[in-house]
Each structure stands twice: as C-alpha cells, then as structure tokens.
C-alpha cells in the first residue's frame, strides 16, 4: 500500500478512535473519501455486467441486434411474459426450487445432530470422520457425474427431484456440518448440563433450547445449502431429462434454429438471480460470519 492510500487510513481503521465524536452522526453522514471511492469502483465492476443483462432483457431482439443502446429505447416486458407463460420455461424454475428446498431440508436434518456430536463429544475416529466429510466438499463434480447417473438410474431415481437433492447433499452436508459445528462451539457447554439437570431429555433439549440458541447458524447453513444447490449445474443437468430439469439447463434451449433469442435468454438469467437476491436479504447480517463458517 502506498502512502497516498495510507493518508486517509486513520479514517479507515475499524472502531476508529474518534469515538468521542457522536458516532451516530458520523455514521449517517456519507463522507466521500478514499475508501468510498474504492468500494464504489468495486461495486461498479460487479454491477456493470448485471446491468447489461437487465438492460438486454428489457429490449426487443431487433433492438439488441440492430443498434447499440445503453438503455432500452422501446421498453418491453415481452421476454418476461414469454417465460412466465410458457410451461416449459417456468417449470424449470419450479423444478429448481423443489430440489433446492428438498436439499436444504435433508441437509439440515442430518447435519444438526452430527454437528452437535462433533462440537460436544470426542469419539473414536471423530477427527478422521470430520476430514473425510470435508473431502467430499472437495470432490470435483465432474468426477461424480457419470457414476451418479448410473447409480440413480439403477435405483430408478433418474429424472426425479429427490435424486438431484440427494446428489447435492454430497457437498452440502459436509459444509453444513462444518458451519454448524463452528456456531455450536460458541454455545457454552454449561447450558447443556443445566438442561439435563433440569430433567430435559436430549431431543427436547435440542429442539426447545439448543436450536433457538444457534438459530442464526441454522439460517446461515440453510443459506449456504440453498446457494450451492441453486448454482450447481453439472450434476443437476446430468441427473435430469424432462420432469426435473432445472432452469439453468433449460436456458441452453434458447439456442434454436433461428439463432439465439437473446432477449429471452437475458430475461431468464435475470429471473435466476431473483431468488438468490431475496435470500441474501434475509441473512444479510450473518453473511460475513457465515462465510467464515462460524469461525470468527
């Protein structure tokens, strides 16, 4: 870092020493400084491609290909109408949402007790088991694509939502266990002991007392399971044909005989971003801690 950026550095130190100043006032006023410029530039870099996608989704194909315009001249919602009225399009969204929800439910159900065990007890082979779980988060989906296809075909689960949900557990369960274990570690053990002395059985203690205490951790784990299941394509495409086809795979369809339908493609892209954006809004205060896997 050069001196030029270091100069306003005093202001960038977190928990600044200017605490004597009324904090609320400084927070509310937006002061243009070096940091703000850096962040603004970074956010601009992030938003430009997204803006372009949104821009294209609101244009007609004639305008997209005919002229280069920075914003839509003939604003049209035709592309969105196409997607929301055509069953072969919107069923893709429904399919994706179904298997993602199933995946989140399965992941949390199995990961919660396991994370509790890892955070509270030591047992034979626990460390090896924990690392083995993590290795599955590291397994390249490309390695598993073909065997998965054969495995799920042989048990007659091919092209069902549950098949994709189970396949995604391969990397979501280890991650959820890891995150939840981090959060559970932060809960003092005395709470468990007190509850047992008070006569709580394990299941009742777990649901009534323990789960509310790590509610934010559960939220974050659910968020991550949602995220990785929602963005994954290779496995979900390999394991589905028609009935459970995810939206991301449907998008490849726009490349038709008459060339690419750019407007609809862009609109479909924008609609895939919406669920993610909604979910982020609910967990925004825990995102940072969650990405640190509860280990901050």
Partner 1 sequence: MNKTVNQKAWFLVLPVLVLVAFSAIIPLMTVVNYSVQDSFGNNEFFWAGLEWFDEMLHSERMWNALGRQIAFSAIILAIEIPLGIFVALNMPKSGVWASFCLVLMSLPLLIPWNVVGTIWQIFGRVDIGLLGYTLDAVGIEYNYTQDFFAAWATVIVMDVWHWTSLVALLAYAGLQSIPDAYYQAAKIDQASRWAVFRYIELPKMAGVLMIAILLRFMDSFMIYTEPFVVTGGGPGNSTTFLSIDLVKMALGQFDLGPAAAFSIMYYLVILLVSWVFYTVMTNLDKRDGV
251 forms part of the interface with partner 1 (CB under 8 A)? yes
| Contact range with partner 1 by CB under 8 A, out of 72-80, 81-89, 130-138, 213-221 | 130-138
Q: Which of residues 253-272 bind partner 1 (CB under 8 A)?
A: 262, 265-266, 269, 272
| Lookup: tokens for 23 | 């904090």
Note whether 108 and 173 are within 8 A (CB): no
Q: Which of 170, 209, 211, 213 binds partner 1 (CB under 8 A)?
A: 170
234 forms part of the interface with partner 1 (CB under 8 A)? yes
| Contact range with partner 1 by CB under 8 A, out of 72-80, 81-89, 210-218, 283-291 | 283-291
Note whether 248 and 177 are within 8 A (CB): no
207 forms part of the interface with partner 1 (CB under 8 A)? no
Residues 6+ apart with CB under 8 A from 212: none
Which of 251, 202, 221 has its CA nearest to residue 89?
A: 251
Calculate ∠ Cα 258-262-267, nearest 5°.
Answer: 135
Question: Cβ 294 to partner 1, closest distance in Å?
Answer: 10
Which positions from 91 to 110 touch partner 1 by CB under 8 A, shown as an x/- string? Answer: ---------------x--xx
Question: Cβ 120 to partner 1, closest distance in Å?
Answer: 6
Site for partner 1 (CB under 8 A): how many residues? 112
Question: Cβ 159 to partner 1, closest distance in Å?
Answer: 17
Cross-strand pairs, 255 = 260
| Contact range with partner 1 by CB under 8 A, out of 46-54, 72-80, 82-90, 214-222 | 46-54
Which of 244, 294, 286, 291 has its CA nearest to residue 93?
A: 244
What burial letters (b/e) apply to 9-39, b meaning 16+ CB within 10 Å? eeeeeeeeeeeeeeeeeeeeeeeeeeeeeee
Note whether 224 and 175 are within 8 A (CB): yes
| Contact range with partner 1 by CB under 8 A, out of 64-72, 73-81, 83-91, 211-219 | 64-72
Q: Which of 4, 123, 128, 242 binds partner 1 (CB under 8 A)?
A: 123
Q: Give the Cα separation of 38 and 150 in Å (integer).
A: 50
Question: Cβ 68 to partner 1, closest distance in Å?
Answer: 6
């Amino acid at each position: 870092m050069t001196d030029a950026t270091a100069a306003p550095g005093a202001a960038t130190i977190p928990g600044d020493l200017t605490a004597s100043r009324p904090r609320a006032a400084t927070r509310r006023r937006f002061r243009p400084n070096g940091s703000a410029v850096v962040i603004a530039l970074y956010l601009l870099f992030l938003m430009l491609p997204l803006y372009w996608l949104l821009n294209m989704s609101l244009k007609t194909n004639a305008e997209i290909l005919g002229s280069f315009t920075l914003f839509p001249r003939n604003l049209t919602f035709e592309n969105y109408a196409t997607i929301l009225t055509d069953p072969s399009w919107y069923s893709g969204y429904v399919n994706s949402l179904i298997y993602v929800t199933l995946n989140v439910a399965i992941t949390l159900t199995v990961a919660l007790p396991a994370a509790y065990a890892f955070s509270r007890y030591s047992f034979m082979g626990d460390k090896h088991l924990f690392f083995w779980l993590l290795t599955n988060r590291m397994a390249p989906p490309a390695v598993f694509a073909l065997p998965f296809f054969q495995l799920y075909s042989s048990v007659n689960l091919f092209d069902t939502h549950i098949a994709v949900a189970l396949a995604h557990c391969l990397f979501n369960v280890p991650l959820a266990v890891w995150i939840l274990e981090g959060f559970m570690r932060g809960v003092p053990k005395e709470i468990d002991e007190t509850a047992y002395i008070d006569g709580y059985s394990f299941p009742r203690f777990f649901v009534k007392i323990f789960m509310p205490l790590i509610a934010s951790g559960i939220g974050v784990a659910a968020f991550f399971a949602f995220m990785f299941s929602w963005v994954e394509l290779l496995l979900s495409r390999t394991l589905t044909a028609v009935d459970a086809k995810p939206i991301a795979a449907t998008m490849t369809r726009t490349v038709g005989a008459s060339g690419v339908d750019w407007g609809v493609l862009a609109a479909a892209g924008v609609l895939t971003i919406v669920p993610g954006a909604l979910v982020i809004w609910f967990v925004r205060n825990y995102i940072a801690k969650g990405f640190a896997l509860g280990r901050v």
